[in-house]
Structure 1
Amino acid sequence: MAAKPVARTAKRLVVLVSGSGTNLQALLDAVAAEGAEAYGAEIVAVGADRGGIEGLARAERAGLPTFVCRVKDHASREEWDVALADAVAAYAPDLVVSAGFMKIVGKEFLARYGGRLINTHPALLPSFPGAHGVRDALAYGAKVTGCTVHFVDDGVDTGPIIAQGVVEVRDEDDESALHERIKDVERRLLVEVVGRLARNGYRIEGRKVVIQ
């Protein structure tokens, strides 16, 4: 008699957004197309640092719970960090995905979610960290750039690298054109990485991420 397949429980994802939510939509589409069990994960909530954004509207159209945690509603950045960590904790996530979330989290958030908070960056780290990775790569004259999916630590784009995708820089590129091509690769890479981490598990050895 053939062995019965082992049941696999989808990992719980909370996704954080600040804008249009195109990376969120890529994850939503992947879960819808494959099913949460096959993909390995399901999105259980979407949070933002401000209201009235398309990222939240995408979540609401998908029937997902949402929450907003604004810095200006708290007495300090530290208080906001605790409030954000508490809001995320209410959904008991296995992984948290920063999908265009434009706030830097603090010590309390990392104490709870360090090694579980995934971010993307539009350059091949450690080159061109910070808010202007695409512009900086162009200004430097780089011939290739791309995107990085990495875990978040207490630095700026310094956490362990999970995966990277390469994009050629064309002579005619301006910042907008190059960024759009990077975003296309970034969405595909994020979907692939999150699914693999959720399905297979992983470990972090120093700066190396090993997907099992």
Structure 2
Amino acid sequence: MTEKSQEESGGQLLSKRELPSEDAMRQECWNSALYAFGTSYVFQERQRWLQKKLLWIQYSGIAIPVVMGTTIMSFGVELSWLPVMIAVASILLGVQLVLSLWSTMAHWVERLAYTYESVAANDTLSRRYSELARTPPKGARFRNELEIMRVQDSARRDLDIRQHLSEKEKRRGMHAALRQFGRACATCGVVPTTFKPSKCDTCGNF
């Protein structure tokens, strides 16, 4: 791959002191596009996790009593295995109640709503940064548009950092972003091609 083709695909990080001003800004755009994509991926993963847990809580809270009621109405209360069924259902409902209480205390619904907002915002930032890097405007317009993007990106990061992303989530996001942009990890030097984690402490171990 030539130097030009590497840059067009979001190539290797280069020192800004080694680049002309416009090239430095384009490289900054590629880097920021990568980070925004990685953040979006992390919140997409959180979104899927929260959706599954909340769906299970809602479904089990309805399904278990319905199954119990339907069984009793169909076979009566003299079933030999009814006590066992009631015991199992009671345990499951107890677990459902604990999880429901925990989800309320941990603000799972609010956290899920935030993931939708963050995913949309970071996807937009990543796309716009990539467009700026790929086809930069001429003259001062490039610098002005990049400055607007920096302000928006900074505001988004200030919000996202309050969600307490774990180091494991950050490594998973970096792995996904490097894979998306065809970039080599700055630590291990490997370009991820699959979602299988490596032993790298920057883009693996998740």
Query: Fold conserved (TM > 0.5)?
Result: no
Greater fraction of residues in strand: 1
TM-score where L is the length of structure 1: 0.27
TM-score by length of 2: 0.28
- Please identify which structure carries the higher helix content: 2
